[in-house]
Structure 1
Amino acid sequence: MIEMDATSFEDLVSEEIDRLPQQMLAGLDNVVFVVEDRPEDGSLDLLGLYDGLALTERDRYGLGELPDRIIVYREPHLDACADVDELRDEVHTTLVHEIAHFYGIDDARLHELGWA
């Protein structure tokens, strides 16, 4: 486990978002990235969450809709990682994983691709 305050962790997440391929980010419509300390149940098991409706499940979407959220949980990441390099890798993987859910890719396929 490593120690990192909330501001430093948010900066790290922002840096990792900036490192993602532009074509991956270009299709994210009405999506916000959020950092929270822990999931609602208080566990350290969940690193991230896509909270929204995948593109493959939308029939109409737009006006007046709240943005979908990609949530990155700080404390579970810190608990799972031994150093900052490992933390960066894990945050990167979490971001790709949750963005994939936005595009409609399920966990089984993400396991096949090595992103779960």
Structure 2
Amino acid sequence: MQFNHPPTLEDLQSMAEAAFSALPEELREAVRGAAILVEEVPDEETLEAMELQHPWELTGLYRGVPLTEKTHLAVPAEPDMIFLFREPILVEWIETGEDLFRLVRNVLVHEIGHHFGFSDEEITRLEDEG
């Protein structure tokens, strides 16, 4: 995909939806109901909670209860959400030269991995399968 302008929130949202649609069905089914949102940067509260100094340090975030910690009796306070952050993703895209769609896909897969409670090694394997 070629861009004559910096990719917008909508461009990244479209890429995230296409990447999600291309994931194996069992993976998509397991995160059904989780919202996938693209925002410019993480908010101050998130940065403080994660002890990050700059918003470009975080490309994505899973917010919710990992499947490994869910029980049938607990009612979630809010739906599971996967955030992709446009500016940090674009900075990484520029710095690495990686294909933007692949980068968006990897961030999405990484955050889905957190939904499953996967280790970083398991998440890296998932990312490499794409």
**TM-score surpassing 0.5?**
yes
Give structure 1 stretches of 5+ with no counterpart: none
- For residue 104 of structure 2, what is the aligned residue in structure 1? 91
How is 1:1-116 mapped onto 2 (pairs within 5 angstroms)? 3-40=6-43, 41=47, 43-60=55-72, 63=75, 65-82=77-94, 86-111=99-124, 113=125, 115=127
Q: Deviations over 1:42-79 (max 9, x none)?
A: 51111111101101112335656421101111111111
Give structure 2 stretches of 5+ with no counterpart: 48-53
Q: How many residues align?
A: 114
Query: How far has the Cα of 1:36 moved from its partner?
Result: 0.8
Structure with the largest fraction of helix: 2
Partners of 1:39 and 1:79 lie apart in 2 by: 14
TM-score, with normalisation over the residues of structure 2?
0.73
Partners of 2:98 and 2:120 lie apart in 1 by: 25
Query: How far has the Cα of 1:84 moved from its partner?
Result: 8.9
Matched AA of 1:94: V
Q: Deviations over 1:12-66 (max 9, x none)?
A: 2211111111111111143111111111145111111110110111233565642
